């Protein structure tokens, strides 16, 4: 069989402020790959990309080396990298068989040859669950919600939680876990369609942070016991002022400062008098503790429709640079995902 | 015996900014008390004041009701209240005998009749330890240091800690505990005599935060694993920027914002990427857990000179309003204490 085109999204230029489609990220169609003939070394696997996750934290890796936050800077001229679901086409590795679906950190490309598979995981075949779910509600975002909840929320029935960017992939999972555990949920987002989604998830109070003062809402519907912080900045400051004694802040994101200078926080004295705990949680610290429980619990719930989620799907790598920008600006509703094949 | 004068320090006016001697606090000599003849109800105890603690947190109770931080507002026209050591003169309470020294929250007055003694504690008679120590190195400040260390510092040998207002009653205890546990100690204070005291305590790096940029010092001698926060504001912001992964902030004070508007904090995104834990610790949450261990451990160490401390002593209630102001401004070195009698 003749080589086929292997479209890739390359990291082309360091970003200052928002990433710019065609400058920060470019789509490259110059490469081809011979799916049957490309030589594989012992241990290598040739895979086809099924679904690629696009996540807010990636912005942190688009800054210059030394200015990055969430990991090392992406390499200039190389494909963007993030969580993907791929399907094995050919394998020289005894742990991975053709036809299996595998989850890990891979390139933004149609095909790729994987060499180090030590952190890749073969996915369970759960009837009724699309593969794209494994980079969203069942991937890093869903895991972040679950791990943060177990590790740092210490929620008790009847408490009140405020969740910022609540319609996002992490936030919408937290809304559902919090409601299932008997909490009152205050949730914010930036568009009417996101607020509608939050109402459907059962949030008790929803508001648009772009048109409503966070502090006023928390004063009226709080005080809160937990602040689930995806945002930082003003939301964090308002939450600190409205936390109960022994309140908790679970910090899993900081979208307000990814593309611009951080907004100032003033209400730190209250951390002392209210004996507040603020804690940053990253997903990869806790896989060993919680991943098996997560995979045992959530794929069946998703298959049965007990966990709701919304995806913002694009079907081509060509649309990726714009999707990355839209996500940083909060323009998409639901988990941003690139789906290149359904199975 | 004729009634004697009972000098008191009254809370006279709510403070905005620094408390003003003669306005916020006034010395009152109009009251007398009959030490032998004053009637005592069942359960009451008549006591003579030995030592009174003056602490930075008290500023929070001098604001208008609704604007206070550290507990309820002091009552206008009533004596100031804080931790004291008193000696029992007469007792109608079977748990307290004349001659015993007792520790609790009492009035700034030469004598007083106590009614509710449920939170008062009879002190051990430790040879070589002055009673004033029981409101300082062995009182609330020492306990704050010990409890915060046990609860929230999670220190490991070889780690680096930065301690702000390190020459204060809490900070100087933390410096010594940290050195005893094998940490590298970076310590800041605002006068040369305080820095000299910190050198004597064994701090590895000392600096004057008024003349040196905190950020520069932490960049040069950090990164740090623990920030012991007595200050808030710029010190907290600089510490956040220089914490290691899995760093901890133990917040036990906030002197930078007690008398003026809080300084802004910008470096909160790092809480996420570095998985930092910030926790506020107040002494009265942890007595049940740690007080017995504290009293068993530290009074003998103080008596043997193994724990160093410096007191800023005044010998009369007349000097109290000025002492309170000096402490808020950082003008005194060592634990501020009013000693009215040696035993």
B265–A270 CB contact, under 8 Å = no
B267–A272 CB contact, under 8 Å = no
Tokens of A41: 């070394």
pLDDT digits (tens, 9 = 90+) for B228-253: 999 999 999 999 999 999 999 999 99
Q: Which of A254, A269, A277 minimises the CB distance to B277?
A: A277
User: Which structural domains are found in chain B, ordered by start?
Assistant: 4-136+310-339 (3.90.180.10), 140-284 (3.40.50.720)
Q: Are B198 and B187 in contact (CB under 8 A)?
A: yes
Residues of B in contact with A251 (CB under 8 A): 268, 271-272
User: In chain A, at which residue ranges do the beta strands (DSSP E only) sit?
Assistant: 4-5, 8-11, 25-28, 32-33, 45-53, 81-91, 101-107, 111-114, 121-122, 160-163, 184-189, 205-208, 224-229, 243-251, 277-280, 311-314, 335-339
B1 CA to chain A: closest CA distance, Å? 46
Q: Which of B69, B273, B282 minimises the CB distance to A269?
A: B69
| Arithmetic mean of pLDDT, A5-10 | 97
B276–A281 CB contact, under 8 Å = no
Residue with tokens 């912005």: A59
Q: Are A175 and A198 in contact (CB under 8 A)?
A: yes
| Arithmetic mean of pLDDT, B123-138 | 88
pLDDT digits (tens, 9 = 90+) for A185-213: 999 999 999 999 999 999 999 999 999 99
| Arithmetic mean of pLDDT, B48-52 | 97
Going by pLDDT thresholds of 50, 70 and 90, the confidence category of residue B129 is confident
pLDDT digits (tens, 9 = 90+) for A216-241: 999 999 999 999 999 999 999 999 99
Going by pLDDT thresholds of 50, 70 and 90, the confidence category of residue B258 is confident
Residues of B in contact with A270 (CB under 8 A): 69
Interface of chain A against chain B, CB under 8 Å?
Answer: 60, 69-70, 232, 236, 251-254, 257, 261-262, 264-282, 285
Interface of chain B against chain A, CB under 8 Å?
Answer: 60, 69-70, 232, 236, 251-254, 257, 261-262, 264-282, 285
A269–B236 CB contact, under 8 Å = no
pLDDT digits (tens, 9 = 90+) for B185-227: 999 999 999 999 999 999 999 999 999 999 999 999 999 999 9
A232–B262 CB contact, under 8 Å = no
Q: Which of B257, B267, B280 minimises the CB distance to A274?
A: B280
Q: What is the pLDDT of residue B69?
A: 78
Q: Per-residue pLDDT for A127 more than 80?
A: no
Tokens of A243: 């936390």
Q: Which of B251, B269, B280 minimises the CB distance to A262?
A: B269
Q: What is the pLDDT of residue B260?
A: 86
> What is chain B's mean pLDDT, rounded?
94
B230 CA to chain A: closest CA distance, Å? 10
* Residue B303 vs residue A162, higher pLDDT: A162
A265–B270 CB contact, under 8 Å = no
Q: Per-residue pLDDT for B127 more than 80?
A: no
Going by pLDDT thresholds of 50, 70 and 90, the confidence category of residue A334 is confident
Residue of chain B with shortest Cα separation from A266: B264
Q: B295 Cβ partners below 8 Å, 6+ apart?
A: B124, B138
């Amino acid at each position: 069989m003749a080589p086929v085109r292997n479209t890739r999204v390359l990291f082309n230029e360091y970003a200052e402020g928002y990433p710019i489609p065609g400058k920060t990220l470019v789509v490259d169609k110059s490469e081809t790959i011979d799916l049957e003939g490309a030589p594989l070394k012992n241990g290598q696997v040739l895979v086809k990309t099924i679904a690629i996750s696009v996540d807010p934290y990636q912005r942190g890796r688009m800054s210059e080396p030394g200015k990055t936050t969430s990991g090392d800077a992406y390499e200039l001229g190389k494909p963007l990298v993030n969580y993907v679901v791929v399907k094995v086409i050919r394998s020289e590795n005894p742990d991975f068989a053709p036809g299996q679906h595998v989850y890990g950190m891979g390139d933004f490309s149609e095909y790729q040859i994987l060499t180090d598979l030590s952190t890749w995981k073969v996915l369970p075949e759960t009837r009724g669950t699309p593969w794209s779910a494994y980079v969203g509600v069942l991937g890093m975002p869903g895991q972040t919600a679950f791990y943060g909840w177990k590790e740092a929320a210490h929620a008790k029935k009847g408490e009140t939680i405020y969740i910022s960017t609540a319609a996002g992939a992490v936030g919408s999972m937290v809304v559902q876990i919090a409601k299932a555990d008997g909490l009152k949920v205050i949730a914010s987002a930036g568009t009417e369609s996101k607020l509608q989604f939050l109402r459907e998830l059962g949030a008790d109070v929803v508001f648009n942070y772009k048109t409503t003062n966070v502090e006023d809402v928390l004063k009226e519907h709080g005080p809160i016991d937990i602040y689930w912080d995806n945002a930082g900045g003003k939301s964090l400051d308002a939450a600190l002022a409205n936390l109960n004694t022994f309140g908790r802040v679970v910090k899993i994101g900081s979208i307000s400062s990814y593309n611009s200078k951080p907004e100032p926080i003033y209400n730190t004295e209250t951390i002392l008098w209210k004996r507040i705990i603020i804690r940053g949680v990253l997903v990869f610290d806790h896989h060993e503790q919680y991943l098996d429980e997560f995979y045992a619990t959530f794929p069946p719930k998703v298959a049965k429709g007990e966990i709701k989620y919304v995806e913002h799907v694009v079907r081509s790598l060509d649309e990726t640079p714009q999707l990355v920008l839209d996500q940083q600006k909060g323009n998409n509703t639901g988990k941003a995902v690139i789906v290149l094949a359904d199975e």
